[in-house]
A and B are shown apart, each in its own frame.
Chain A
């Protein structure tokens, strides 16, 4: 197993429990869609898997590493080397060019491969846009850069939180196609949060979150 949630509980300060008892596992190379109503805790789950936040109880294991055993630097190292993130807001670094953004994560992780980046840029249709700053790119282009940034580090796990939520239909389709193709090519596992049943249907598995539990 690449990623497991074992009876994970999580609540935010001053709020009701968001995740009550979540158990889940994801195999290497597998793609999984996480659906649920707004506020059901999908992003919370994803953030926990990304070692961005810590569980209240239970355990999350990523690639054999129990996340609760890691300290802050350990979690940061894990984020750098084992997984990649794609957000709905793209969250590119505004002061760097598209090209610099694309290779940023890989360079941070110390596994920068210029050929691979060039290949990614070419496949994502970004080759002519690499010198532009994010503010001069369309949403779809920005998200493609974000996907490139995520895949450049050859992660074992790709976490995507509604990656097409801010895009129109055509752009959504392109972005999703590219992402799934790249995931398939590199053998990465994918955990994708989405509202869309259509998108969910295109993935290997699908789980629904409701009432703080996997339904």
Chain B
């Protein structure tokens, strides 16, 4: 019996192939976009982790000797004195023409290496003794294994996924032999747990320099925010795809009501039917999900090189631009497909299960259920209000997401009603008979199109919202870089004296030397970094003031005023005209506030003489050098040679800036690709709805044709109708998208990361998006319109044929 029922149910899809294709494509698109974003995020996160796992280089402070390697004796003295440090030896090894980085770490002092941990998890735990005793072990990535396996004279190789692709990690003893640098130490890592009373560095090892963990640009929070929003985008794309599934499943169920009624009359229980339909849906979900995974895999593969390039720029870490197929990724994708399918068809299934054997309503009921009645709109308003209320009452990240979800779902529900009201207005003001017909007919078609239009609304809102977010984010980042990295070169001298020498040497050859001097003060609001600056055009021209009073720079330089960063301003609610008590004795008027992203601490800027007065003896070892950009590289090298400075003491920030900017150009490629894809999904939803409506469409068009319009005119009107509905939806999507952007920037970001990005508007992008939307709507309507254009009159005449 079950088999017969299955055959009967499946026969529907045989006669409705387009519907089946629509359903599968909808599912595949939803799953594909979602899993592509997931894959990209996962791969990017893994790369961040690998970068960070670079043996704690990024996570812990280090001790460096600006003059070169650290003598072994120093290391021993530090350890004896109680300093918990681990020795690191770095070097390069050439294997078959390829340069590999070798990192030797004192595994006794610092054995908790993530790389080692990962091998342990993989089931073949290495014996710690093997690592330490000759010949030792080399840890490396799967990528390098074939290269190294062919070499003789190397210790056995262990594979770890937690390492950057070009790195060999080993014990420092093994590294000494490999690199032929016996007894040498490149630098020391300061371990997190230090005893309470250890002698200060200045007494025990004055020549060593403590390098803080994150001396490079701290982009972790920015990128986290980026990924969070990318995830939100993926989820939205998924939701848009589900609208297609919802629409097609609803229609298919409605069309099968007759058959189901017959089956029940023949003695099949509703229970069995529901189970069978659920099994059928699961099958479809799995097929669609697998298609989606394939799609997502290729999509991620296509986008990932850009992401990889971004990461390379961001961290200087080579990341494999290839995506690896992970079982949990595939499983979660399939789970999403299944869950999404049932979410999208739950309502239809429920209604089907409650259908009495003898009931007439079929398609009609389905259409009216999707209609833009004010009840649905009211539910939408309730969803929006509920979201806002949740945020107001509870606050926090989850409530923030509830608010965003409520806003999106609610607006989608309100859309058909809103559109219908707008169309009534147009209809009232329409003059000609055709215009009147077009408007009234659009309104009549709304129920059948509303799901697709909701999908379009969400896609557009996501586009505008995420686009605004990303663009604001990029502007912010640019501003931040410009503020941080105005000078072409940054030099760090070993001592104040060397700093003076460097300044004297550079003075005749460069445009300006900007000393970077700061002290950390204990302020009532928390730590406050006080910077001193000299009077230079650079600041007057470039410093990103977001709020300032008159003659701001003159007042700073004559010592009567101070600049503070935005964090401090917002936290303490201090703005130009207020005063800042830098110390108990020094209170200055605030002349301006500047933006400063990426760090949570307060900063203030005074003139150099004020700094020397307030905090005498601030180090004078760092400089920003203004020089013609094309001279920067040569000068950097000359400087290193002249003063025998290590590489890291002279940093060419212009290159760094360009690289960092590239990161965002690349991530932009990713978002805009996703943007277009989501829009494509919505366009597809419109196409499927129009095709679904096609059969009901002819009886409405034929009379107009008979009354004297050509098929070409009617086809044009069909195109126009679709484009107008899309345009109206786009107009409504704009405020929603901006609300979404606002929520992402000022609620989600604040809740998730503690700071707020300013929102910038990009009207040009909206115009571009509107163009794209109209294009998508035109393309979607082109197929039905072309059908109409080529329709033989005989087919139109059937509408008038006398048999009902």
Contact = CB atoms under 8 A, between A and B. Distances in A.
A71 to B, nearest CB: 9
A81 B708 contact: yes
Interface string A30-44: 000000000000010
Contact of A93 (B437, B713, B800): B437
Contacts, number: 93
Interface of B: 432-434, 436-437, 440-441, 443-444, 699-700, 702-713, 792-794, 796-797, 799-802, 804
A91 B702 contact: yes
A53 B802 contact: no
Contact of B800 (A79, A87, A96): A87
A77 B434 CA distance: 14
Contacts of A104: 433, 437, 707
A53 B801 CA distance: 14
Given A95-B443, A100-B440, A107-B432, 6 more contacts: A43-B800, A43-B802, A72-B711, A75-B710, A77-B708, A165-B802
A64 interface: no
A23 interface: no
A170 B793 CA distance: 34
A76 B702 contact: no
Contact of A95 (B432, B437, B792, B797): B437
A88 to B, nearest CB: 5
A154 interface: no
A145 to B, nearest CB: 12
B802 A105 contact: no
Interface residues of A, number: 37
A92 B708 CA distance: 14
Interface of A: 12-13, 43, 47, 50, 52-54, 72-73, 75-81, 85, 87-89, 91-96, 100, 103-105, 107-109, 161-162, 165
**Interface core residue of B433, B434, B801 (most chain A CB under 10 Å):** B433
B794 A12 contact: yes
Contacts of A76: 705, 708-710, 713
Nearest to B704: A93
Contacts of A72: 710-712
- Which 5 A-B pairs rank lowest in CB-CB distance, beginning with the nearest? A80-B708, A95-B440, A107-B433, A79-B708, A95-B444
B432 A79 contact: no
A50 B801 contact: no
Please report whether the interface of chain B is mostly helix, strand, loop or mixed according to DSSP.
Answer: helix
Identify the interface centre among B700, B704, B708, B804: most chain A CB within 10 Å of its CB: B708
B707 A108 contact: yes
Contacts of B436: 96, 100
Nearest to A38: B802
Nearest to B445: A95
B703 to A, nearest CB: 4
29 contacts: A43-B801, A47-B797, A50-B706, A52-B793, A52-B796, A53-B793, A72-B711, A72-B712, A73-B710, A73-B712, A75-B710, A79-B706, A79-B707, A79-B708, A80-B708, A85-B706, A88-B802, A89-B799, A91-B699, A91-B702, A93-B704, A95-B437, A95-B700, A96-B440, A100-B433, A100-B440, A107-B433, A108-B434, A161-B802
B800 A91 contact: yes
Contacts of B792: 13
A161 B699 CA distance: 17
A81 B802 CA distance: 25
Contacts of A52: 705-706, 793, 796-797
Nearest to B710: A76
Given A52-B797, A100-B436, A161-B800, A93 B703 contact: yes
Given A95-B444, A96-B436, A89 B708 contact: no
B703 A91 contact: yes
A155 B710 CA distance: 19
A7 B485 CA distance: 91
Contact of A105 (B432, B699, B707): B707
Nearest to B802: A88
Contacts of B707: 79-80, 85, 104-105, 108
A161 B434 CA distance: 25
A104 B709 CA distance: 12
A13 to B, nearest CB: 7
Nearest to A53: B793
B568 to A, nearest CB: 62
B708 A108 contact: yes
A85 B800 CA distance: 11
Contacts of A43: 797, 800-802
Nearest to A100: B436
Contact of B433 (A12, A47, A108): A108
A13 B794 contact: yes
Contacts of A53: 793-794, 797
B511 to A, nearest CB: 73
Nearest to A97: B440
B311 to A, nearest CB: 56
Contact of B700 (A12, A54, A93): A93
A168 B704 CA distance: 27
A153 to B, nearest CB: 9
Contacts of A78: 708
Residue among A13, A96, A109 with the highest chain B CB neighbour number at 10 A: A96
Contacts of A103: 433
A91 B793 CA distance: 16
A40 to B, nearest CB: 12
Contacts of B432: 107
A92 B702 CA distance: 10
B444 A94 contact: yes
B702 to A, nearest CB: 7
A78 B708 CA distance: 7
Given A95-B443, A104-B433, A109 B797 contact: no
Contacts of A12: 794
A105 B433 CA distance: 8
B205 to A, nearest CB: 87
A79 B702 CA distance: 13
Nearest to A51: B708
Nearest to B796: A52
Contacts of A89: 799-800, 802, 804
A78 B800 CA distance: 19
A118 B14 CA distance: 53
Contacts of A109: 708
Contacts of A107: 432-433
Contacts of B705: 52, 76
A100 B705 CA distance: 17
Contacts of B706: 50, 52, 79, 85, 91
A49 to B, nearest CB: 12
Contacts of B440: 93, 95-96, 100
Contacts of B712: 72-73
Contacts of A80: 707-708
Contacts of A165: 802
Candidate in B436, B440, B441, B800 with the most chain A CB atoms within 10 angstroms: B800
A94 B437 CA distance: 10
Contacts of B800: 43, 47, 87-89, 91, 161
A115 to B, nearest CB: 18
B224 to A, nearest CB: 52
A78 to B, nearest CB: 8
A137 B802 CA distance: 20
A207 to B, nearest CB: 19
A167 to B, nearest CB: 13
Contacts of B708: 76-81, 105, 108-109
A13 B708 CA distance: 24
A196 to B, nearest CB: 14
Contact of B441 (A47, A87, A95): A95
B360 to A, nearest CB: 16
Contacts of A47: 793, 797, 800
Nearest to A146: B703
Nearest to B699: A91
B540 to A, nearest CB: 66
A76 B700 CA distance: 17
